[in-house]
Amino acid sequence: MSKNPPLMNSSFSPSAPGGPPGLALLQALRPEQWVKNLVVLAALLFGQRLLDQEAVLRGLLALAIFCSLSGCVYLLNDLRDIEKDRLHPAKRQRPLAAGRLAPLTAWIAASLLGAGGLAASLLLPPGFSWCAAGYLALNLAYSFGLKNIVILDILAVAGGFVLRAVAGAEAIPVSFSNWLVLCTLLLALFMVAGKRRQELTLLEAEAAGHRASLEDYSIAFLDQLITVVLAATVVGYSLYALSSEVAGRLHTRAMPWTVPFVLYGIFRYLYLIHHRKEGGNPTRILFTDRPLLIDVVLWVAAVAVILYLA
C-alpha cells in the first residue's frame, strides 16, 4: 500500500477564512520562491559590475520588479487551479485553496502587482522592459495552457529563467553572452525535469488529475531527460570555464577552478532526486540541504574572488 496521502478526499472542505488577511496574501505570493529571481543578479556578478553603485541599484530594482511579477503570476495560477489544488496533498494548504484568502482580494493584488511591475520596468532600459513583459506573457501562457502540454511545460519554465538572466543584463546594462543563456537554460531544464519526476512519484496514478501533462510523462522518460540535460549542463559550463574567449573577456584564466563546485552541486541534486526522493521544490532543497547550500555559497565566493580579487 502506498504511503503517500490520497489525492482525493471527500471529507475535505476549505477552511473558513481566518487570521490576518495580509499574512494570507503574503503567503499566496510565495516569497520563499522569490530566491529564483536572484538569477537577475547573475549579470552583476559575471559582468564584473558589483562594485558599480549605479549598476547595483539598477540590479536591485530589476530584482524587485521580477518579485512583483512573479507574485502576480503565482496568484493568477492559484486562482485558476484553486479546485485542483484542494485535491492535492500539499497544495491544498495554500491560502486560496484553504479558503484563507478571498479570490477577489487575490485578483486585485495580482492586477496591481502585474501593472505596477510593468510600469516600474519603464524606469530601466527598453531591453529590460521587453524581457519583463515577455516573462509575464510567458508565465500567463504557461498558467493558462502550456503547463498541460508535455515537454512545452518544461521548456516554458526554463525559458522564464533565461528571461530573468537576460533581463538582469539589460537592466545594468551590460552585454550578455550566449554562455549565460545556455548554462541558465540547461540548469533550469535539469531542475524542472527533477520537479516533474517528484510530482509523478508523489501523485502516482492520480497525477494527471492535477496536471494534464503528467499523464504523458513516465519516470523512465524523465530519468532519460534528466541524464541528457545533466550531461549537457556539465559540458556546457566546463566549456564556458575553459573558453579562451571567456578568459579574454573576464581577464582571468582561473574560471576552471569553479567547475568542481558545479559538478558537486549537480551530482548532489541528482542524489537528492533519486535517493532522498526530493526535487519537487528546488528552493526548499537549496535551504534545507546543508551540503548543497554550502556548495552554492562556495561557488559564488570562488567566482567573486576570481573575478574581483585575482
pLDDT at res. 8: 36
Q: Could you give the CA distance from residue 8 to residue 165 in angstroms, rounded to a whole number? A: 39
Q: For residues 56-79, b (16+ Cβ closer than 10 Å) or e, as one string?
A: eebbebbbebbbbbbbbbbbbbbb
- Measured in whole angstroms, the distance separating CA 215 from the mean position of its chain's CA atoms is 23
Rounded CA-CA distance 286/295 in Å is 10
Within a 10 A sphere around the Cβ of 105, how many other Cβ atoms? 18
Q: Are residues 33 and 172 in the same domain?
A: yes
Residue 220 inside a domain? The answer is yes
Look up the CATH number of the domain holding residue 71.
1.10.357.140
Chain-wide mean pLDDT for the chain? 87
H or E element, residue 134: helix 126-143
The pLDDT score that the predictor gives to residue 299 is 96
Are residues 199 and 122 located together in one domain of the fold?
Answer: no
pTM of the model: 0.85
Task: Copy the grid coordinates of residue 22.
Answer: 495580509
Q: Is residue 2 part of a domain?
A: no
Which of 139, 154, 176 is the last residue before a domain boundary?
Answer: 176
Q: What is the pLDDT of residues 79-109, one digit of tens each?
A: 988 887 777 777 788 888 888 889 999 999 9
Q: Is residue 36 part of a domain?
A: yes
Query: Each residue of 218-241: pLDDT tens digit?
Result: 889 999 999 999 999 999 999 999
Same domain, 37 and 70: yes
| Model confidence pLDDT, tens digit, residues 144-170 | 888 888 999 999 999 999 999 999 999
Give pLDDT, residue 141: 93
Integer Cα distance of 146 and 246 in angstroms: 35
* Structural domain total, the chain: 2
Let me know whether 163 and 202 are in one domain.
Answer: no
